Structure 1
């Protein structure tokens, strides 16, 4: 397997930026050029929303396989591996935006940004207001009417709020709070995302947030049911699993990229967390991936 590529848009080098902060097209427009298969890849700074009006197929979101059908709504944040296989009769839309444009559209509700940090796959009922907003968005997307750009931005804001509501409804009650612990927890999540490869101490994260390590542990247990160290380990482990499944990097190189002093220490850490050595996990995990992910 080759390393997972990073694209601006699928099939386009990541060094070629989007001409605009927002790009949209039909599912068929790009997929049929590639035999209706979008192989695993990631985007450096782009969030994508995919909505299936009719037809279906299969999605790969990190290591999860998800069956797609009419009404499927998929949201993929930057940096997350994803791929798709569609049936040739699939009809739907793909919206790509920069992460800065996402923040602009949600400037009035900044507390929703944390809800866009993990890939999601939801089924939207046809009688749901979100389905209506997606249909209206597509109508504007395919039109040449006056004030089209303003209408698209307004409708996209409605779509994003709909996705945030779905994510919020499925989140633990504690995480939905806008309390001080919730804000500290969000800060920790953001710092962890940018610093997990450095093997930072819990005290360093706590100092950046402006609280003690004890307080940080308390916040993490309240919001996620885990200690701060468990969350750090979980993030490191998730990246290790991603690299083992989707790249041909040697175990020792994965270990070094994640801040481990040597491969033996990394292997002991991985086996303790997963119950398998990195090599065994790679072999068994790839055997369970859909065929399009391993070609």
Structure 2
């Protein structure tokens, strides 16, 4: 490679541009942030992607005006052109890897079919992979600083492992996002059906069939997004209507029970007492807006 063809990049705080034949740069977080009183002011890179790995300590990460505070091991992806800044605790430990655009493009090509994880802002908690990731970043920095035979191949191998991990996390987050979106659609459909049919007291099985999911899946969605089972949602809608009619109408308990699909007043009264701790007649009597 001729000197003229060496790509030129610049890192935050460098007084001069950084000419290097490498398509990546690796350093510890303290190495640079200590020079700037543990704070890197917001800035951007035109054609550099950064991977910040927080291993210990705390970090306040600002990307495009959004601030996130981390106090556990995680990788923060900062794509090219994103305005970003960092503030660290003085006991911070971790690494920053900077990737040049040609390398980012190559990595995305190699991971064809996976999300372009390095082209989007992402925060990925390390969890049980904390030690594994630390070993990868540590090995990357050690290899970067040395001039051993096969250095470039080793650097590419290590960065490949890191990017595969990030891509898998990105894919998992993407899948979870789609699942949540679908779940909200199912819950909305279920709620509409409950509103239309609650007076007939439809079974959960019948509503799940109309929604297009299994009973188990419907209950899972309801618990996750509404905090109640499907049957509890139906019962709460019945209870709400019972309270409204007790307060705002003069229907007898028998008439009210009939209108809500109960086989007899006694069954309705047991249902109402179980959910409220009161008999329907006591609730009506004690309600402040009860008709005179």
TM-score normalised by L of structure 1: 0.51
> How far apart are the structure 2 equivalents of 1:45 and 1:111?
23
**Cα-to-partner distance string for 1:39-76 (whole Å, 9 max, x where unaligned):** 11111000000101211221111122111234121110
Q: In the alignment, which residue of structure 2 is the partner of 1:31?
A: 33
SS at match of 1:171: helix
> How far apart are the structure 1 equivalents of 2:178 and 2:19?
34
The question of 1:161 aligning with 2:164 is answered: yes
Match of residue 82, structure 2, among 80, 83, 87: 80
Displacement of 1:139 after TM fit?
A: 4.6
Kept in 2: contact 1:73–1:122 (CA 8 A): yes
> How far apart are the structure 1 equivalents of 2:58 and 2:122?
16
Q: Kindly report which structure 2 residues correspond to 1:80-159, keeping only aligned pairs within 5 A, or say none.
A: 80-112=82-114, 114-127=116-129, 130=133, 132-141=135-144, 145-159=148-162
> How far apart are the structure 2 equivalents of 1:50 and 1:126?
18
Q: In the alignment, which residue of structure 1 is the partner of 2:68?
A: 66
SS at match of 2:13: coil
Q: Kindly report which structure 2 residues correspond to 1:142-291, keeping only aligned pairs within 5 A, or say none.
A: 145-172=148-175
Q: In the alignment, which residue of structure 2 is the partner of 1:16?
A: 17
Q: Which structure 2 residue ranges, 5 or more long, are not aligned? A: 1-8, 180-292
Displacement of 1:135 after TM fit?
A: 4.5
TM-score normalised by L of structure 2: 0.51
Task: Say what the alpha-carbon RMSD is for the aligned residues.
Answer: 2.8
**Cα-to-partner distance string for 1:213-259 (whole Å, 9 max, x where unaligned):** xxxxxxxxxxxxxxxxxxxxxxxxxxxxxxxxxxxxxxxxxxxxxxx
> How far apart are the structure 2 equivalents of 1:29 and 1:173?
36
Q: Which structure 1 residue ranges, 5 or more long, are not aligned? A: 1-6, 177-295
SS at match of 1:95: strand
SS at match of 2:26: strand
> How far apart are the structure 2 equivalents of 1:123 and 1:143?
29
Q: In the alignment, which residue of structure 1 is the partner of 2:42?
A: 40
Give the 3 Å change call, closer, same or farther, for CA 111–146 of structure 1 in structure 2. Answer: same
> How far apart are the structure 2 equivalents of 1:126 and 1:136?
19
Kept in 2: contact 1:103–1:113 (CA 8 A): no
Give the 3 Å change call, closer, same or farther, for CA 71–142 of structure 1 in structure 2. Answer: farther
Bigger Rg over Cα: 2
SS at match of 1:107: helix
**Cα-to-partner distance string for 1:145-196 (whole Å, 9 max, x where unaligned):** 44233212101011011111111111147989xxxxxxxxxxxxxxxxxxxx
Kept in 2: contact 1:125–1:131 (CA 8 A): no
Q: In the alignment, which residue of structure 2 is the partner of 1:214?
A: none
- Higher mean alpha-carbon deviation, 128-137 vs 117-126, is at 128-137
> How far apart are the structure 2 equivalents of 1:172 and 1:35?
39
Give the 3 Å change call, closer, same or farther, for CA 120–35 of structure 1 in structure 2. Answer: same
Question: How many correspondences in the alignment?
Answer: 169
Give the 3 Å change call, closer, same or farther, for CA 44–113 of structure 1 in structure 2. Answer: farther
